Structure 1
C-alpha cells in the first residue's frame, strides 16, 4: 500500500496530468505474478490501476518498468489485447525512488487464480482458451515494431545466437549469492549444446512479450477470448516464435508442472499441435522449428526460476518459494531433454 504522503503526491501528479480530481478511494492491493506493487482505486468517478516496482527494488526495477510503459504506449491503437495505458511517470520524484504508471482496469479473469462460469462447466470453452492465446500471440507478431516506434527497443541482429551464452552467464552469476551451493540441474550442458547446434537459420523480428504463459493473460468472463496480455516486463524486439515456445513449455494441457490452478485440472484443453497450427494459420510464420523454441523456453525459464532459488538460499527470498521454483527448474530441463529426444 501507499503511505498518506505518497497518496497525496500521487493525487497532485494526477491533477497535473489533467486526470479526474478528488479523493483517492477504494484503494485495494491486487495480487499478480510478480512482486510489483499493483493497486486499484477510484478517483473522480474513474477507475485506475497503478503499477510500480517492488518495495524492495532491485538494481534494474525502474528501468524494467520504463520499458513496460513504453511498449504499452506503443501498442495503443493496435489490435493486441493489452491494458490501456492512461498515464506514465518515468521519473522517481513523485513516489520517491519509484517509477509508476496508471492503466485501465481489465474486465477479465486470470485462469491460474479462478475458473468462473461458464468456463468451468463447458469443455469446449476451455479448449478454445488455448487457441485464443495463440490468436492473441499471432496478433502481437503481426505488429510492425518499427511503425509503432519500437525500432530501437531491442537488438534483433544475432538475437537467437546470443540466447544460450547470455543465459549460461546468468546462471553462472548466481554463484555470487552467499549460501547458494551452485546449480544442481541435470541436463544444462546437454540442452545448451543441442540449442547451439540447431539455431534456426531464418526468422523475422517482431515484438516479443518474453514471458507468455497462462498466468500473464486475462480472459473474457463471457467467452474464450483473451481480454489482455499483462506483465510486459521482459518484452523486447526478438523472435516472436520464442513466445510460442514459451506457451508450449508452460501449457497445462500436457505438463501442469507449475500448478496453474483450476484450468489445469479441469481438462478439455487444446493440444500443443492444435495451438501451433492455429498460430501458424493466423501469423503466417514458419513453425517447422518450434521444438527448438520450446526447448529454448525451457532452458531460459528454468534459469530464470533458479535465480529465485539462489536468492532464497542467500536469505533474499522465502526458502519454500525457492525450493518450489527449483523443482520447476528441474522439471523444465527434464521437459527440454524429452523434447530433444523426440525431435
Structure 2
C-alpha cells in the first residue's frame, strides 16, 4: 500500500520534517529521508504520525497545533512514564527517544515503537467478533495489565503529588465543578453530586500505598493483538501520575459496558457477549495484585465522580460556544450516566 511522503497541508505548519530529520541524525536514529509519512488518528488532539526512515518505523507524537498551557508538560510526563515502564511486564508503547525541550523544534515530542494491534473502540475484527472466548480473554488480559502496573516500583522523583492523594480527591473535583458556574448558561448539575461526594468522604480507604497510575483506563485507550485476545498495549499515558493504582480499576468499574456493550461515555462494542462482567474483572485483578480490593466500590464511585465532572466541563464550554453543541450534549448524557452508576453503587 502506497504511503504519502508529504504531510497534509493542514499539518505542514506544525511539523517540520526537515528539522525532525536533523534532530534524529543527532540521535543516530535512521538515515536519509523519510520513505513514509502517515498521519494517524488518536484519542486526543495531539498530532500523531507514523514515520519510516532507514527501514525502521516510528510513531511521532507532539502536542496539538494550538498547545494548551500544559501541553509540553504532558509530552514530558508521557515520555518519563514510558521510560519507567521499560523492562516491566506492563504492555506499553516502547519509548525510542524524546525531546523535553520545546525550544528545539518548537514543541516537546516523543518517538515510540509502533504497536501491532487494533483499538476495540473502532470495531472488532472478524477473529474477535466471531469467538466469545477470545472476547473473554480480552477483558482478562486488560485487567492483568493494570494489576501488573499496580505492582511496578517506578522511580519517578517529582512526578505527581502522591502525598495526601486520596484526601484531596473530592475537594479537587468539587472545586472543578464549581468553576463551571462562571458560564452563565450552565444550569448546574442536579444528579446527586453532593450525596456522592459525602459518601466518598465518609468511606475513604485508609490503606493507601502510592504507585503509578495510568489515569484514563478505558477500552478506547487499549490495543489488542490481531490474532488473540491478549492486550498489545495500554496507550495514551498523558494523564499518568503517582497516586493509588486502584483508581485505574475504579475507572474500569465506572466505564465498563453494560450487557449490551454500551458504556457510560457513549461507546458501543458489538458483539459484547463473552466479555467478563465487572465482578469477574475485579476478582481477576485481585488475584494478581498485593493491594487490597476491599475498597473497590469506593474507587469505582470516585472514578464516576471525577470523570463525570471532567465531561461536564465540555458541556459547560459548549453552552458558552467554546465546544460543539452535539459533543457537549453527548458528554452531559455521559455525566448523568456516570452519576447514576455511582448512585447504584453507593446504595448497594
Count of aligned pairs: 336
Alignment equivalent of 1:131, drawn from 140, 148, 159: 140
Alignment equivalent of 2:285, drawn from 265, 279, 289: 279
Alignment equivalent of 2:327, drawn from 308, 313, 321: 321
**2:223 match: secondary structure:** strand
Structure 1: tracts of 5 or more residues without a match: none
Q: Indicate yes or no: 2:120 matched with 1:111.
A: yes
Partner of 1:80: 90
Alignment equivalent of 1:295, drawn from 288, 301, 326: 301
Partner of 2:235: 230
Partner of 1:187: 192
**Alpha-carbon distance, 1:182 to partner:** 4.5
**1:39 match: secondary structure:** strand
Alignment equivalent of 1:256, drawn from 250, 254, 263: 263
**2:226 match: secondary structure:** coil
Partner of 2:318: 312
**Alpha-carbon distance, 1:91 to partner:** 1.3
Q: Where do 1:1-343 residues align within 5 Å?
A: 2-3=11-12, 6-96=16-106, 98-145=107-154, 149-177=155-183, 180-254=185-259, 256-263=263-270, 265-342=271-348
Cα 1:182–1:44, aligned 2, differ >3 Å: closer, same or farther?
farther
**Alpha-carbon distance, 1:77 to partner:** 1.3
* Whole-angstrom distance in 1 between the partners of 2:326 and 2:104: 35
Q: Root-mean-square deviation (CA), in Å?
A: 1.6
Structure 2: tracts of 5 or more residues without a match: 1-6
Contact 2:266 2:330 (8 Å CA) reproduced: no
**Alpha-carbon distance, 1:102 to partner:** 0.6
* Whole-angstrom distance in 2 between the partners of 1:214 and 1:174: 28
Moved more, 250-259 or 71-80: 250-259
TM-score (norm: length of structure 2): 0.92
**1:266 match: secondary structure:** coil
Deviations 1:230-274 (A, max 9, x none): 1111111111111001011111144523333434x4322101111
**1:159 match: secondary structure:** coil
